[in-house]
Amino acid sequence: MLQELKPSVLTIIENNKGNKDQTLLAICELLEEKVPYYNWVGFYFKNGDKNELKLGPYVGEPTDHVIIPFGKGICGQVAVSNENFVVPDVQAQDNYIACSITVKAEIVIPIFVNGENIGQIDIDSNTPDPFSKEDEDFLEFVCAEVAKIL
């Protein structure tokens, strides 16, 4: 199912040239709408020279986590580790920042531009342990395509 979304992602990027936030929001909307277990989809980006992430375009419940310090929560850990982070059960994570009591799992994939981790896509799911290797591969593809417009 996820592989079938690749052409739609490419079309969104092609059709929104020059408007980064609109492109990112359209990608969030596509993923949240088409993947039943993607309940919150958003982008975080390095906040200038600060060691923190700033929330970019997203779809889902509003969040208080507009700024996340490096190392804090799943997103903050990915900002430091530069590696994918799949959390099958958020309750089992010590360093988890709860956004909503309905969230059961989370996946965060970094975005690299010229070898530098400049941000990430963050997806919360209300379904326990929904993410597979296919999700990781697909979201790596999304991040690689997004990196080309950043």
The residue extents of the domains of the chain are 3-147
Mean pLDDT check: name the lowest of 13-22, 43-52, 123-132.
Answer: 13-22
Q: Which two tokens stand for residue 138?
A: 């697909």
According to CATH, the superfamily of the domain at 3-147 is GAF domain (3.30.450.40)
DSSP annotation of 66:
S
Can you tell me the distance from the alpha carbon of 32 to that of 62, in angstroms, rounded to the nearest whole number?
A: 14
pLDDT in tens, 66-122: 999 999 999 999 999 999 999 999 988 877 876 678 999 999 999 999 999 999 999
Average pLDDT, the chain: 95
Give 137's pLDDT tier (boundaries 50, 70, 90).
Answer: very high
The pLDDT assigned to 125 comes to 97
Can you tell me the distance from the alpha carbon of 99 to that of 75, in angstroms, rounded to the nearest whole number?
A: 12
Q: Looking at the predicted structure, is the pLDDT value of residue 50 above 90?
A: yes
Share of the chain above pLDDT 70, in %: 99
**pTM across the whole model:** 0.96
Tokens 């929904």 -> residue: 130
The pLDDT assigned to 28 comes to 98
